[in-house]
Structure 1
Amino acid sequence: MLRTATALGALALATVAIFPSHAAERATARLADPQGGDLGTVTLMPLAAGGVLLSAELRNVPPGTHGFHIHGTGQCDGAGGFESAGGHFNPSDNAHGWNNADGPHAGDLPNIHVPEGGALDIELFVPDVSLDEADENTLLGESGTAILIHAMADDYASDPSGMAGDRIACGVIEAE
């Protein structure tokens, strides 16, 4: 009996070694404005049903309605207006927006509505992304990804960016 249990244990370890998990248990992004000021943290956790749960604790964000997106490059150069983050994360090459018959991008998220005082805590389900590096839609790929807040509301239709205006906050998504 002991030999059988030992053999099964060794087989289980060998299976893990042959088929390692590439999925992060969690990823975070620390958001900053173009001057480097702290605007809060976004946390992403994989869900058993697929997709991720995005939780954001935002502070000091200008009040109003803002576009909120995942962008396809993990760089946040504030001096360059965060253009270094590239376009929206879009591994399936869709058009932008839920109101676009050929959309949405995987990185299209709902607008956020920041009250006076600039603090907002939200949770969103993001269905078409993954934290598993083996997946085509991983947020942890070679070029990385970033979370951005835009100056204006996303119109959910205009391709490629929803007419959301300047990029006012950025944070690189990193596995923990």
Structure 2
Amino acid sequence: MKKVMLFVIVAMFTLIVGACATDKDATPQQNKDEAVPVSSSTPLDIDIINTKDAKVGKATLTETKEGVKIGLKIEGMEPGTKAIHIHETAKCDPPDFKSAGEHFNPGHKEHGFDNPKGFHSGDLPNIEVSDNGTVNVEIIATNVTLGQGENSLLDEDGSALVIHENADDYKTDPAGNSGDRIACGAITK
């Protein structure tokens, strides 16, 4: 009986070692139809300023496989629902921030998630400013990148994150009836 048990143990050990060696020596195959995952990049921190050129918060942008994650922390704002968009130029000259240009729109679409001809790559979902004037939210911008290419936020003139005084209606071109620009952060390398 002891010889049989020893034989079974040796046989099992041989099978396990052989299976491990086969897996270790195997060359992984990548299906050409599968997307290669994007590795996370080093987070990019940008300051957000208001119309009086005072810092009111920051945004942290990180490349993920889903798109660019925007972690937004702001204080001292008027409560309510606000539009937030990515604009085409990394210039935040107060008080109106028109220096940031139009929405980031390399695909030459119209504005708005509900617009049949839209949407801009820089269109983002509305944010909610709490009753105490703060925002602490994460947004995924799926149609942009911090890498290279047509949809790069870090092209030669950068881009800007702009908050508007009102909510975006998600359909009216060019900016969703979102009102004046009230905060801005330049996105540069």
> TM bucket by the smaller chain?
0.7 to 0.9
| Residue 44 (structure 2) pairs with residue 27 (structure 1) | yes
| Residue 122 (structure 2) pairs with residue 122 (structure 1) | no
Which has the greater radius of gyration? 2
Q: Across the two proteins, how many residue pairs are aligned to each other? A: 150
Once the 2 structures are TM-superposed, how far is the Cα of residue 29 of structure 1 from its aligned partner?
A: 2.0
CA distance in 2, matches of 1:168, 1:107: 17
CA distance in 2, matches of 1:135, 1:112: 28
Return the structure number with greater relative CO, CA threshold 8 A, min gap 6: 1
Match for 1:74 among 68, 90, 106?
A: 90
Once the 2 structures are TM-superposed, how far is the Cα of residue 150 of structure 1 from its aligned partner?
A: 0.3
Once the 2 structures are TM-superposed, how far is the Cα of residue 50 of structure 1 from its aligned partner?
A: 4.3
Aligned 1:37-76 pairs, distance under 5 A? 37-47=54-64, 49-76=65-92
Do the aligned partners of 1:65 and 1:113 also contact (CA within 8 Å) in 2?
yes
Contiguous gaps of at least 5 residues in structure 2 = 1-39
Once the 2 structures are TM-superposed, how far is the Cα of residue 166 of structure 1 from its aligned partner?
A: 0.4
TM-score by length of 2: 0.76
Aligned 1:1-176 pairs, distance under 5 A? 25-47=42-64, 49-79=65-95, 81-132=96-147, 134-175=148-189
Do the aligned partners of 2:66 and 2:140 also contact (CA within 8 Å) in 1?
no
SS at structure 1 position matched to 2:109 = coil
CA distance in 2, matches of 1:117, 1:39: 13
Once the 2 structures are TM-superposed, how far is the Cα of residue 168 of structure 1 from its aligned partner?
A: 0.4
Q: CA RMSD in A?
A: 1.3
Deviations 1:120-140 (A, max 9, x none): 1101111000001x2110000
TM-score by length of 1: 0.81
Deviations 1:10-63 (A, max 9, x none): xxxxxxxxxxxxx9633222111111122100111001x241111101111111
CA distance in 2, matches of 1:161, 1:120: 21
Structure 1 stretches of 4+ with a deviation exceeding 6 A read none
Fraction of identical pairs, as percent: 41
